Structure 1
Amino acid sequence: MTQTDSTTPEDIAALFTRSDGSFFCARWGRPIAPIVFGVEDASLRVVKGAFEAVCALAGHDMAETDFELGSNFMVFFFRNWSELSDVPNLDRLIDGLGELVERLSAAEANQYRVFRFDESGAIRACFVFLRMDAALSDVPAEELALGQVAQSMLCWSDTAFSERSPLARAGATTVLRPDIAGVIRAAYDPVLPAVSQDPSHALRLFARLGAQAPDA
């Protein structure tokens, strides 16, 4: 299992235990049909590559379109939060968009993520907003794309990556941390439920992590 050997059930539980103490782990319940706004073709290929890589890791399907929404994973790159107010029909997809834009602008936030869930609690849609301020503009495109896709493959805790990035360096290449890659792969094991609010789910993820092939 390479570097995932030191991962404990408590480590996994912390990744899905929110700041209010509640546990929630959910994966996508349908193929991911992404669309990206606000980037040039070269960057678009990078983002698409990140989707393909993480979905391959998870063993999860991608699709050209979603049967319900058309595109169920939307990524927006922009310079100012106010630009979101000009996106046609976005207010129909994001409840309280105007208030959200005001709040994020006042906080000078540079990223925000919104999930939507189906009746079972599995992820049915995700909206990622990236305000390209000086800090994000300095992040290499490959690193930014991989990090955002990884953080959107599961409904992680709001504090999961507050102190440590999900990414690591392998020589000159940016990759997912082995423990995070292992948890993503384990969470998409079809024997596990798509959603759980029971902290004991971390033990099941840990068991699947231990069952992964050493060279996975």
Structure 2
Amino acid sequence: MSDITPEAVEEFFTRASGDYVFARWGRPIAPVIFGVTDETLAIVKGAIETCVVIAGHTMDETDPELGVNLMVFFLSDWAELLDVPNMDEMIPDLAARVAQLSAKNAHQYRAFRFDDAGAIKACFTFVRMGGAMDDVPADVIALAQAVQAMLLWSDRAFSQDSPLAEAPDGTVVRPDVANLLRAAYDPVLPVSGRDPSHALRLYARLVAAPS
């Protein structure tokens, strides 16, 4: 049984605007990673697979509609996005977004696309390396990004606390976050939700899960 509260579950998906917005993937995840070495590529794909297994979801080589649906970009400067072909089709108002991310000195950004049921159908993840990020192990960066691509978390989630924890055998997904991933992908629950009562259903699945 989880010791998380219903209020804490709701907070994970309540945005700064006060709106409750939940969404999970409604299709197998077909990832592609740019801007890394072959060694790091394997680490990033392994991290995605770890989170998919935790959630009880699935991966595939290709998406029949999009080809790939989880695109992860590693870069050293946000301005690099302006030179990526067709990036302005994936990220609306690209130039303004790049300027905003640069001004904030941001290290990460995610953009999601949704299907008619409100489920996630694509995620574009961007990670800017440099500075303190260069001191963070690749597996830690990869796992943190994978967790945050699995659900439409609140824009405030993990802004202060990492979704990861240290275990005897290395860095892992934080137990409460892992349990929430499992509950979120329970087939009984809808793929999306905009009413806070959805959080109570999530909480019920957490309580019902084996300890």
Q: TM-score, normalised by structure 1?
A: 0.95
1:193 and 2:209 matched:
no
1:25 and 2:4 matched:
no
Matches within 5 A, 1:9-158: 9-158=6-155
Matching residue of 1:167: 164
Which amino acid in 2 is paired with 1:131?
R
Tell me the CA shift for residue 213 of structure 1. 2.0
1:7 and 2:4 matched:
yes
Q: Tell me, what secondary structure is at the counterpart of 1:160?
A: coil
Which amino acid in 2 is paired with 1:188?
Y
* CA RMSD across the alignment: 1.0
Partner Cα distance (1:109, 1:51) in 2: 22
Tell me the CA shift for residue 171 of structure 1. 2.1
Which amino acid in 2 is paired with 1:77?
F
Q: Deviations over 1:150-171 (max 9, x none)?
A: 0110001011111211111112
Partner Cα distance (1:172, 1:138) in 2: 20
Q: Deviations over 1:7-47 (max 9, x none)?
A: 01111000001111110110001110100000001100100
Which amino acid in 2 is paired with 1:136?
M
Following TM superposition, where does structure 1 have runs of at least 4 consecutive aligned residues deviating by more than 2 angstroms?
Answer: none
Aligned residue pairs total 211
Please, which runs of 5 or more residues in structure 2 have no aligned partner? none
Partner Cα distance (1:41, 1:63) in 2: 19
